[in-house]
């Protein structure tokens, strides 16, 4: 393996060449020389041209502020038109600054190099975005819930912020920001900042984010949004047709906040609001501070998918508050968040639902590991110059990372582990960290204080070893064991599908039932299941993303019209990529069907989703 660990004397298993883990190979920026500390945006939203136009002022902190002679500021951009750059030199005077744009890189975009007369305190950049900006989706009225007004939303993670702001696009740099955003009349603008619940659609909005954040948490949305409160510090923004259903589904949000505070300390972002976006949003949620972006695909009527809200809320401690310094250590964001999420679910919805979610998640991880090369199965990933940081977005970071923390909790007990985790958040609040930082903290605060509980080798196996260590204890669920028994009785002919009592099943039980069906199940068997449970046409995306691939592989063509409708309606990558993949792996006729549906659906997909589906279909082309 390229990632090496050393064991020495009383020292802990530590990543070799530790300092390199803070380096970010996915950014042109040079934060070791200069950092952005504050950003002031002034943008105009133009739906006609699908662009943002305006300027940004970056306040700078130099490593050597008193050094003499010329200096350079290197920023990240992608498909931005840079019109003018100025530097503020003494007494607030602005003067022109020369700049160059490097050659475009398919993943990193273009390096913006600004030549400066010295270590100036600020630079001002006038620019406009491209209509094809990878971090922005422009939706015409016909694709919105109301059908009356257009809609815009951003997705900056992992390195898409550079497509709508020239900046240091790396999680190792944190900054505060302010913004003025002007929109067409009647549209509401929101940001990952201090949105006012009583704001009116004036067309001219001002924002301030006083807590320092990394660039991937910079967010904007513009649309016909309305607000309803959930509690004095939490509420929901959404288009009118979605708002009431979202309020009912996410009514337990305040209880989740309180449960997390009891475990891990105060919520430090003042408000926690949710913005329900169209179904084209490429992810389940995005943890933009103060305003989590949420897919409507989790509004299913029984609250069985609200663990997504628990997950995005948990990021207010793990990720937003304590952030991975580079995408090599993505597990520090997502593994910790998945662990905290499950603790919230247990506290608010009960231990059995939390157990079911763990069983389902761990099964997904085992399946993912079958297709990942060993070097991608580790938590502390090796550097990937020239690679795409999106490659770190898989179940290893989320579920193996969570499982490692569950392992520590089991060995030390919650009475020890909970204060340990809270102290981690407290001591590293508003900082960017590496795996080495966590390992040093773990050794000091747990291993040294409780010797003999966990060995260096056991920790190293989790952090740097591929697959799952022998110390991984699988989650169990009595309710899912009952699902296994029911499925077995049906497969063995002891009962009909209609004879299975599913009246109290929630999403996790349906998911477990479907994931346990044999690979050689027949179309006739699926016809019986469908006749009993009406899975074709389900509004539940978690069920749909399992059911439709099964129908494709079994040749159950009766499901095709509903499958196509689902792909045209939903743009969440997690839900649609398994279906496209199943079609692409079958006959040429199936692949042609997939391409036809994609051509119809693509205008409503986010650029990130379009690129993912296109890459999948291209890879499977004969």
Question: Residue 610 sits in a domain of what CATH number?
Answer: 1.25.40.320
pLDDT at position 497 is 97
Residue 602 pLDDT greater than 80, yes or no: yes
For 460-499, letters b (16+ CB in 10 Å) and e give bbbbbbbebbebbeebebebbeebeebbeebeeeeeebee
**Per-residue pLDDT tens for 436-458?**
999 999 999 999 999 999 999 99
- Interval 160-184 mean pLDDT: 98
Share of the chain above pLDDT 70, in %: 96
* Three-class secondary structure of residue 430 per DSSP: coil
Choice among 239, 249, 287, 312 that is catalytic: 312
Please indicate, yes or no, if residue 178 is contained in any of the structural domains.
yes
The CA-CA-CA angle for residues 344, 350, 353, to 5°, reads: 90
- Interval 71-98 mean pLDDT: 94
Please indicate, yes or no, if residue 476 is contained in any of the structural domains.
no
- Interval 283-309 mean pLDDT: 94
Cis peptide before 158 (omega within 30 of 0): yes
The residue from 186, 210, 234 where one domain ends is 210
pLDDT at position 90 is 75
Catalytic residue list contains 312:
yes
Whether 310 contacts 344, CB under 8 Å: yes
Please indicate, yes or no, if residue 359 is contained in any of the structural domains.
no
CA nearest to 144, candidates 35, 42, 276: 276
Q: How confident is the model at residue 481 (pLDDT cuts 50, 70, 90)?
A: very high
CA distance 570 to 567: 6
Please indicate, yes or no, if residue 36 is contained in any of the structural domains.
yes
CA nearest to 272, candidates 197, 175, 188: 197
The gap between the terminal CA atoms of the chain, to the nearest Å, is 33
Q: How many domains does the structure of the chain reveal?
A: 2
CA distance 26 to 389: 7
**Per-residue pLDDT tens for 123-158?**
999 999 999 999 999 999 988 999 899 999 999 999
CA nearest to 58, candidates 128, 122, 112: 122
The residue from 181, 210, 239 where one domain ends is 210
> What average pLDDT is seen over the chain?
94
pLDDT at position 2 is 32
Domain that holds residue 542: 519-619
Which ranges of 219-265 does DSSP label H, i.e. alpha helix? 240-249, 253-264
CA distance 451 to 547: 48
Please indicate, yes or no, if residue 386 is contained in any of the structural domains.
no
Residue 510 pLDDT greater than 80, yes or no: yes
The CA-CA-CA angle for residues 334, 336, 337, to 5°, reads: 60
Residue 496 pLDDT greater than 70, yes or no: yes
Q: How confident is the model at residue 281 (pLDDT cuts 50, 70, 90)?
A: confident
The residue from 161, 180, 210 where one domain ends is 210
**Per-residue pLDDT tens for 563-582?**
999 999 999 999 999 999 99
Q: Does pTM surpass 0.95?
A: no
Catalytic residue list contains 25:
no
pLDDT at position 16 is 37
Residue 6 pLDDT greater than 80, yes or no: no
Q: How confident is the model at residue 13 (pLDDT cuts 50, 70, 90)?
A: very low
Choice among 398, 556, 580, 605 that is catalytic: 398
Please indicate, yes or no, if residue 595 is contained in any of the structural domains.
yes
DSSP state of 252: T
Please indicate, yes or no, if residue 554 is contained in any of the structural domains.
yes
pLDDT at position 391 is 82
pLDDT at position 619 is 87
Q: How confident is the model at residue 364 (pLDDT cuts 50, 70, 90)?
A: very high
CA nearest to 411, candidates 449, 368, 373: 449
CA distance 402 to 341: 10
Please indicate, yes or no, if residue 525 is contained in any of the structural domains.
yes
- Extract the tokens encoding 411: 């060995």
pLDDT at position 14 is 41
CATH number for the domain spanning 102: value is: 2.60.40.1730
Residue 20 pLDDT greater than 90, yes or no: no
């Amino acid at each position: 393996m390229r990632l090496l660990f050393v064991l020495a004397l009383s020292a802990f298993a530590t990543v070799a060449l530790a300092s390199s883990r803070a380096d970010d190979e996915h950014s042109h920026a040079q934060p070791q020389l200069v950092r952005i500390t504050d950003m002031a945006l002034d943008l105009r939203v133009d739906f006609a041209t699908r662009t943002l136009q305006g300027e940004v002022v970056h306040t700078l902190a130099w490593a050597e502020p008193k050094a003499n002679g010329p200096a350079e500021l290197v920023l990240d951009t992608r498909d931005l038109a840079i019109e003018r750059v100025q530097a503020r030199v003494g007494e607030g005077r602005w003067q022109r600054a020369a700049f160059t744009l490097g050659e475009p890189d398919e993943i990193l975009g273009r390096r913006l190099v600004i030549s400066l007369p010295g270590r100036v305190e600020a630079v001002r950049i006038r620019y406009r975005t491209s209509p094809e900006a990878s971090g922005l989706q422009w939706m015409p009225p016909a694709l919105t819930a109301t059908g009356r007004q257009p809609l815009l939303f951003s997705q900056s993670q992992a390195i898409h912020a550079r497509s709508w702001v020239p900046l240091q696009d790396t999680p190792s740099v944190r900054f505060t920001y302010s913004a003025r955003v002007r929109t067409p009349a009647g549209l509401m603008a929101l940001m990952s900042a201090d949105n006012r619940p009583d704001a009116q659609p004036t067309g001219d909005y001002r924002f301030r984010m006083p807590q320092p954040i990394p660039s991937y948490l910079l967010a904007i949305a513009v649309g016909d949004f309305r607000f309803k409160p959930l509690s004095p510090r939490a509420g929901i923004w959404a288009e009118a047709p979605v708002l009431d259903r979202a309020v009912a589904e996410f009514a337990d949000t305040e209880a989740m906040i309180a449960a997390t505070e009891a475990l891990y300390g105060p919520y430090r972002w003042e408000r926690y609001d949710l913005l329900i976006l169209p179904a084209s949003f490429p992810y389940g949620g995005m943890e933009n501070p103060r305003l989590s972006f949420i897919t409507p695909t989790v509004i299913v009527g029984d609250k069985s998918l609200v663990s997504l809200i628990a997950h995005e809320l948990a990021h207010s401690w793990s990720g937003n508050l304590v952030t991975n310094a580079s995408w090599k250590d993505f597990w520090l964001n997502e593994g910790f968040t998945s662990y905290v999420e499950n603790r919230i679910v247990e506290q608010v919805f009960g231990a059995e639902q939390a157990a079911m979610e763990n069983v389902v998640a761990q099964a997904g991880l085992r399946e993912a590991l079958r297709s990942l090369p060993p070097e991608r199965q580790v938590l502390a990933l090796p550097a990937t110059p020239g690679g795409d940081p999106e490659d770190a977005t898989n179940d290893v970071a989320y579920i193996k990372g969570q499982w490692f923390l569950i392992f520590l909790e089991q060995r030390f007990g919650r009475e020890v582990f909970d204060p340990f985790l809270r102290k981690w958040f407290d001591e590293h609040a508003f900082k960017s960290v590496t795996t080495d930082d966590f390992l040093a903290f773990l050794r000091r605060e747990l291993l040294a204080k409780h010797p003999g509980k966990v060995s260096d080798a056991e920790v190293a196996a989790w952090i740097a070893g591929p697959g799952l260590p022998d110390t991984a204890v699988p989650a169990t669920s009595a309710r899912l064991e009952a699902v296994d028994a029911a499925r077995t009785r049906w497969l063995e002919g002891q009962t009909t599908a209609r004879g299975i009592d599913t009246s109290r099943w929630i999403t996790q039980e349906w998911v477990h039932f479907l994931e346990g069906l044999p690979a050689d199940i027949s179309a006739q068997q699926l016809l019986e299941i469908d006749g009993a449970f009406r899975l074709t046409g389900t509004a539940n995306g978690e069920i749909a993303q399992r059911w439709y691939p099964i129908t494709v592989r079994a040749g159950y063509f009766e499901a095709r019209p509903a499958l196509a409708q689902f792909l045209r309606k939903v743009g969440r990558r997690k839900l649609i990529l398994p279906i496209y993949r199943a079609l692409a792996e079958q006959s040429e006729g199936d692949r042609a069907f997939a391409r036809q549906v994609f051509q119809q659906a693509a205008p409503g997909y986010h650029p990130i989703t379009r690129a993912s589906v296109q890459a999948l279909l291209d890879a499977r082309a004969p």
